[in-house]
Copies of this chain bind each other. A is one copy, B any other.
Amino acid sequence: MPNIFETLQAALGADIVIDASRVSERASSYWDPSPMRAAALVRPRTTAELSATLKICHDAGQKIVTQGGLTGCVQGATSDADTVIVSLEKMNAIEEIDTVGRTATVQAGVALQVLQEAAREHGLIFPVDLGARGSCTVGGNVATNAGGINVIRYGMMRSRVLGLEAVLADGTVISSMNHMLKNNAGYDLKQLFIGSEGTLGVVTRVVVRLEEATSSRNSALVALAGFDEVTQLLKLLQRSLGGQLSAFEVMWGDYFRDVTEPGYHRAPMDRHYPYYVMLEAEGANADADNALFMTVMEQALSDGLVADAVIPQSDTELRALWEIREDFMALYRRKPIFLYDVSLPIREMPAYVSEVQARLRRRWPDSRCDVIGHIGDGNLHFFVNPGCEGEHQHAQSDEDVYAPLKPIGGSISAEHGIGTEKRLHLSISRSDDEIALMQLLKKTMDPKNILNPGKVL
């Protein structure tokens, strides 16, 4: 009897299905250079080929992991020697851009940055944006409901998807390639596949909503004396800039000081403040937008909301400011670093951060916990370093970061998803009845548990 690799290759061809040894030439992920392991890797060129692949695997009870750009942070696309990997790398066409309806129809394997650039060529933008833009794929962004730095203005991936095509565990193709903002004809099935990390179906194509390109940009790095000032500044900007605010990235003082230590980024202002915010507004009228931005910034300074501000005078200066927020390699000089992605109500943030830091210091007196956040979205990222050696440190750090979320209704995953890494912590953020309903959906749509098993649930 042929094994699963032989069966798939016989059905789909040697160009589409590659074997374990060729799979092992690939790195496991962006983060893990060890060889990728699998029984076979399938690279369908069409939805029909993917459907055939899933039908074969379903009949054989063969487990499948779907892979996009492999930049996920929660081990949601890991495989082992018994896995069939489905990679959407050959389904990488932008099928259509509709400039009147402002939509793009794209295959799942298109890199995020490729879509962004294609939209720009038509005077439009695809506003979901994150650091991995060059490698991550639109299909992966959909499967994980990606967030990133523009959520405050443009929403997460879920709010960008108008239509979607997915293949179910048994090979059935669910094609809901809607192009309209409004469509209430029956259940909104696409929601099942967005953010479920490949456990309910494999996303093959999507219709996404684009926006008119903005033509003005005003940015600033500001320093603030307290968290109340941070939330008041956010409110002032959202009220006064008429919807133009596109980024409001908060850095706690320790983070700022760490990444601006000598040898890393140059500090463009005094390093002693408790909070720093990188903020950006985008509009359509350069002169008017700049005048408004400066007026609001002056008001924030004169009201004492902002203690200091740097306005970049060139693209080079702007990039240097953004790098303080985005390039945190300085933190990785300490090892290990445990990265977190939590969300919680904004008003709970100062107390929550203090509690996590206190817990960590009680456990490890020399520990460090640097914090940055998309606070307008309720989202914080932590970088925890224990400051000593020991066993089970990651699990202990998880405990300290996650446990205080439960009483305040926080989430263990704001934008990274659950994958394998956070699976055992899911009950901190979701009730037993919620998890039971998730399991019921999973069992209904994937009764043989072949789609990305062991992830999420």
Contacts and interface: CB of A to CB of B under 8 A. Distances in A.
Interface string A61-90: 000000000000000000000000000000
14 contacts: A100-B345, A100-B347, A101-B346, A172-B437, A176-B434, A180-B410, A183-B413, A184-B411, A184-B416, A186-B430, A187-B196, A212-B235, A216-B242, A242-B242
Given A187-B438, A216-B242, A242-B243, 9 more contacts: A100-B346, A147-B182, A174-B433, A180-B343, A184-B418, A185-B418, A187-B441, A211-B238, A440-B445
A37 to B, nearest CB: 26
A243 B241 CA distance: 11
A136 interface: no
Contacts of A440: 444-445
Contacts of A386: none
A187 B443 CA distance: 13
Interface residues on A, range: 35 or more
Interface in A174-222: 174-189, 191-192, 194-196, 200, 211-216
A175 to B, nearest CB: 6
Nearest to A188: B195
A429 interface: yes
Interface in A142-166: 144-145, 147, 151-153, 155-156, 158-159
B435 A285 contact: no
Interface of A: 98-101, 103, 123, 144-145, 147, 151-153, 155-156, 158-159, 168, 172-189, 191-192, 194-196, 200, 211-216, 231, 235, 238-244, 282-285, 288-289, 291-292, 343-347, 374, 376-379, 409-418, 422, 426, 429-431, 433-435, 437-438, 440-441, 444-445, 456-457
A435 B176 CA distance: 11
- Between A195, A212, A409, A444, the greatest number of chain B beta carbons within 10 A of the residue's beta carbon is seen for A212
B243 A183 contact: no
Contact of A174 (B175, B185, B434): B434
